[in-house]
A = this chain, B = another copy of it.
Amino acid sequence: MSDPVFTAWARLLRAQTHLLGVVERELKQAGLPPLGWYDVLLELSRPGCDGLRPVELEKLLLLAQYNLSRLLDRLEKAGLVERRAVAGDGRAQRVVITAAGRDLRERMWPAYRDAVRRHFAAQLSDREIEMLAQMLGKITA
């Protein structure tokens, strides 16, 4: 296990598990829904975004089709998104964020941001953050 590759791999898994754990815990403690909800709401509220198809969200968020389908069920039930028919393609749908959805995302953001700053950014220098981003970017590139 002195192999540098597996040291890095192990630390990647460990860091992610740890960070996701604390961040989710803080969100929950603030009475907010899980990060997965945030991710969807964020994509749908990007400037100029007039709704997205499930199949597009799937690729953006690396979610399995059936998981996204049910996540959208929950978001819709909570009144945060709406599914609309797509003219010209009877299979597809367009998922649109509602006012309540935008509102929730905006309320989640401070808690999310602060948790990431405190548990992630605070451990690293600005220079390190940038190098980290640069290297991690190569993986999914």
Contacts and interface: CB of A to CB of B under 8 A. Distances in A.
Contact of A5 (B5, B9, B62, B121): B121
Contacts of A139: 11, 15, 18-19, 119-120, 123-124
Copies in the complex: 2
Interface in A91-134: 113, 116-117, 119-121, 123-124, 126, 128-133
A16 interface: yes
B123 A138 contact: yes
Interface string A42-83: 000000000000000000001000000000000000000000
A63 to B, nearest CB: 9
B116 A15 contact: no
Interface of A: 4-9, 11-21, 62, 113, 116-117, 119-121, 123-124, 126, 128-133, 135-141
Given A8-B130, A12-B16, 16 more contacts: A5-B129, A6-B113, A8-B132, A8-B136, A9-B120, A11-B136, A11-B139, A11-B140, A12-B120, A12-B136, A13-B20, A14-B140, A15-B139, A17-B62, A18-B139, A18-B140
10 contacts: A5-B121, A6-B116, A11-B139, A14-B62, A15-B140, A120-B139, A128-B135, A128-B138, A132-B132, A132-B136
